[in-house]
Amino acid sequence: MKTIRWGIAGPGFIAHKFARAVQNTEGAELVAVASSSQARGAAFAEAFSIDHVFTSYEQMAASDLVDAVYVALPHSFHKSCAGIFLRGKKHVLCEKPVCVNAVQATALWRTAEENGVFLMEAMWTRFLPAVQEACRIAASGEIGEVLGVRADFCYASTPEEEAKLFEPKLAGGSLLDVGVYGLHFADMVLGEPKSITASAQMLPQGVDGHTNLLLQYESGAIASVSSAIAVQKPEDGYIYGSKGYIHLPCFYGAQELVVHVGTDAPRHISKPSVGDGFEEEIMEVCACIRAGKLQSEIHPMSQSIKILKQMDAIRAKIGLNYPLEGE
């Protein structure tokens, strides 16, 4: 089995989790990090025993030491940074959302195709065994006709704690940061909605602090999705059917699920991920690269673009606009 050599662009918080996962994945090797800060790059390299530190993304894109790159920068830099690596013939796994809007994502996918390299959005929730099992059970009919989904990913932060979340220039706010998880979860269960109703609490900084969504489907099913960076809620997911329901504690990173059917005792199912939860998506990317695929069949770029189109429409409804949208 060919070992896929990984580099990381942006040694921030989420990159630390990804680095641990790469080192815990057979057939993957973490060999490089790129950072605009030499000191941060060196510290990250020391923490994870990485041999190569680049002080520009262009340097790592030109290097023959790296096969694939994980882009872990703020949202507003995804398209430009990922584009550098794609044009350098590097396969790319880009943090969610893959771009700020659907137009950007479509252009980025075109760049990947033109250069014959793999591209995927890092939506780890789609690869978790617990989430996949919940979708399988829902599709089996065990809980009856699926009539609803609920997904809440809400937490309270401050500009002092996470400044980028409150900055429009960095495409901050709750929708792109965590609302994207609930939309992907609803899509896995119910597909594409026919309509979306949205309301939001806008913060003084110009980003959404708390957003609530109702998605209506042709089947008659309804999904309720909420996101927040300024409100604390239980971060649970539910799939509701005519005969019962499925509960996923911490749905976006679920390690277990509970199936409730009629008056039967709840059935607890443990479906832990390999490690931190990123391993499954890393294994998928590595397998696709070895097979010469340009995208994942489990999570193709068309899905990412579809969800971004939904978020574009939601942002228009709640009045959430970002500078530099077209770049």
For residue 212, give the 3-state DSSP assignment: strand
- What tokens were used for 285? 């990317």
Q: Are the C-beta atoms of residues 18 and 72 closer than 8 Å to each other? A: yes
Section 274-302 average pLDDT: 96
Across the chain, mean pLDDT equals: 96
The percent of the chain in helix, strand and coil, each rounded to the nearest 5, is 40, 25, 35
Sign of the torsion formed by the C-alpha atoms of 211, 308, 223 and 282: negative
Section 66-91 average pLDDT: 97
Stretch(es) of the chain classified as CATH 3.30.360.10: 129-272+309-318
Section 56-67 average pLDDT: 97
List phi, psi (to 5°) of 15. -65, -30
pTM: 0.95
| pLDDT 10s digits, 111-128 | 999 999 999 999 999 999
pLDDT value for 266: 97
pLDDT value for 276: 84
> Taking 70 as the threshold, does the pLDDT of residue 3 lie above it?
yes
Tokens 């909420």, located at residue: 226
> Taking 70 as the threshold, does the pLDDT of residue 159 lie above it?
yes
> Taking 70 as the threshold, does the pLDDT of residue 326 lie above it?
no
Q: Are the C-beta atoms of residues 27 and 2 closer than 8 Å to each other? A: yes
pLDDT value for 278: 96
| pLDDT 10s digits, 208-241 | 999 999 999 999 999 999 999 999 999 999 999 9
pLDDT value for 327: 54
Q: Are the C-beta atoms of residues 249 and 201 closer than 8 Å to each other? A: no
% of residues, the chain, pLDDT over 70: 99
% of residues, the chain, pLDDT over 90: 96
Section 139-150 average pLDDT: 98
pLDDT value for 290: 98
CA distances from 248 to 62, 87, 125 (A): 43, 40, 12
Check residues 327 and 55 and name the one with the higher pLDDT: 55
- CATH number for the region 4-122 comes to 3.40.50.720
Stretch(es) of the chain classified as CATH 3.40.50.720: 4-122
Which pLDDT band holds residue 8 (cuts at 50, 70, 90)?
very high
Regarding the domain with residue range 129-272+309-318, which homologous superfamily does it belong to in the CATH classification? Dihydrodipicolinate Reductase; domain 2 (3.30.360.10)
